[in-house]
Amino acid sequence: MREAYQPSGRRAAEIAADVEAAVAAGRAPEGAVLPPVRALATELGIAAGTVAAAYRLLAQRGVVETNGRAGTRIRSRPAALSGRREVGVPEGLIDLASGNPDPAFLPSANTAMAVVVQQEVWMRPGLYGDPAVLPELGAWAEDRFRAEGVGLEAVTVVSGALDAVERALQSHARPGMRVAAEDPGYAGLLDLLSALGLIVEPVPVDDEGMTPDGLARALRRGAQAVIVTPRAQNPTGAALTDNRAAALAEVLDSAPEVLVIEDDHAGAIAGIPLRSIVSGRHFDERRRALMIRSCSKSLGPDLRVALVAGDPETVAAIEERRAVGPGWTSHLLQAVAYVMLSDPEGEVHLAEVADVYAERREALISSLVALGVAAHGRSGLNVWVPVGDEAKAVAGMAAHGWAIAAGARFRTASPPGVRITTAALGVDYADVVAECLAGSLGPTGRTRSG
């Protein structure tokens, strides 16, 4: 039987603070169940709406999750208190959980380093006061963003996508401000928002990305920033269409003060063309907006380089905030990234890799659908499968030797699910994985009889 925890407080903020303090002190362990709303309201002598508001706040901060009749419980690895943690893969299991690209497809950094060494201009000692952006990489980024219709004037380079998001929000937001974010969405982003003291306004996601109605609702609730994944959405694989991008831009027309951040983390290996909200087709030059293009999925997670296009004010704010911290992203890393990105053969390679990733993703989806299991993944490296019981699905797959990711760490208010990373899953194994998952879910976990 799961341990229970009895919160105290008279106001929603007090109840939420009490629960967070209990989690931090170990008095409310992972999985501990909170009382039903009405029961706690009666116990504390307050309105049920006050307790409901406290539970919503805790859910938005990633501390608790609500799962129907199972009630509200302390979330595993609560984002607001534990900081960002990657999915662990138990020893002996095949990794379909971590979200990593297939190492076999990552280009050789040794080859790029050899080119960098030959270019004396890149190997000279970097000094304080040097330009933050390597000129060659900056020019390449400007050309690429322009070719993709991203009509943003300023370009900079940062140390990964979340680095750009954090610095942009630090210049735009204050603790307690609301940020519209995808639900389910990237766990690292949810952790970052919690660490910054920001309140998540969850926006539902379908196969075409963030929903316009959900975004409009978040704006009505006071969201001052919105973070969107245009393709390869993590964990669902959603990707914006032209119509959806235009619809979201139309919703944002009513809130010109809102900062719009697009995180195109997969880039060239997403397996689908970029459809952007912040493109010149949708916004004028007054909009504060960013397009972030990380190299982590295509060139390797250890190459901590991301390209950022944005309006001059927002990009300047990012650079000013970075100036009082690390100062700049290593020019050596920028040079390696430039060599890889500008190599015509490398571009062909990434296109081929994107095709393989798409084939692997689609093979698993087809196998699952054939067994009556609903699955989502229009792009990227992952497949999202709605389930009734995440723990049962994860445990069932582990019994068959496969590690998959429980959806709790990606969700704020959306229904349960599991994420399966297909990047390294050969198409020959798609049927095996699908059969194991279908068996783990049982008849009630299927969309129709298999």
- CATH number for the region 12-82 comes to 1.10.10.10
Question: How many other β-carbons are positioned within 10 Å of the β-carbon of residue 395?
Answer: 12
Confirm if 308 and 391 have CB atoms less than 8 A apart: no
- Domain span(s) for CATH 3.90.1150.10 in the chain: 94-104+346-445
Is 50 exceeded by the pLDDT of residue 386? Answer: yes
Identify whether the C-beta of residue 123 lies closer than 8 Å to the C-beta of residue 116.
Answer: yes
Which candidate, 197, 254, 258, places its Cα nearest to that of 227?
A: 258
- pLDDT value at 444 more than 80: no
Q: Which residue has the tokens 């964990």?
A: 235
Report pLDDT for 77: 56
Per-residue model confidence (pLDDT) at position 58: 83
Q: What is the pLDDT of residue 448?
A: 45
Per-residue pLDDT, averaged over 205-227, amounts to: 95
Cα Rg of the chain (Å, integer) = 22
- Secondary structure of the chain in HEC code, one letter for each residue: CCCECCCCCCCHHHHHHHHHHHHHHCCCCCCCECCCHHHHHHHHCCCHHHHHHHHHHHHHCCCEEECHHHCEEECCCCHHHHCCCCCCCCCCCEECCCCCCCHHHCCCHHHHHHHHHHCHHHHCCCCCCCCCCCHHHHHHHHHHHHHCCCCCCEEEEECCHHHHHHHHHHHHCCCCCEEEEEECCCHHHHHHHHHCCCEEEEEEEECCEECHHHHHHHHHCCEEEEEECCCCCCCCCCCCCHHHHHHHHHHHCCCCCCEEEEECCCHHHCCCCCCCCCCCCCCCCCCCEEEEEECHHHHCCCCCCEEEEECHHHHHHHHHHHHCCCCCCCHHHHHHHHHHHHCHHHHHHHHHHHHHHHHHHHHHHHHHHHCCCCCECCCCCEEEEECCCHHHHHHHHHHCCEECEEHHHHCCCCCCEEEEECCCCCHHHHHHHHHHHHHHHCHHHCCCCC
Task: List pLDDT tens digits, range 132-188.
Answer: 888 889 999 988 888 888 877 788 999 989 999 999 998 888 777 889 999 999 999
User: In this model, does residue 123 exceed pLDDT 70?
Assistant: no
Query: Please, what CATH class does the domain formed by 109-343 belong to?
Result: alpha beta
Q: Taking Cα atoms as reference points, which of 396, 390, 450, 430 lies closest to residue 414?
A: 390
Q: Inform me whether the pLDDT recorded for 46 exceeds 90.
A: yes
- The CATH class of the 94-104+346-445 domain is alpha beta
* CATH 3.40.640.10 domain extents, the chain: 109-343
Lowest pLDDT segment from 36-40, 122-126, 134-138, 389-393: 122-126
The pLDDT, as a whole number, for residue 86 is 55
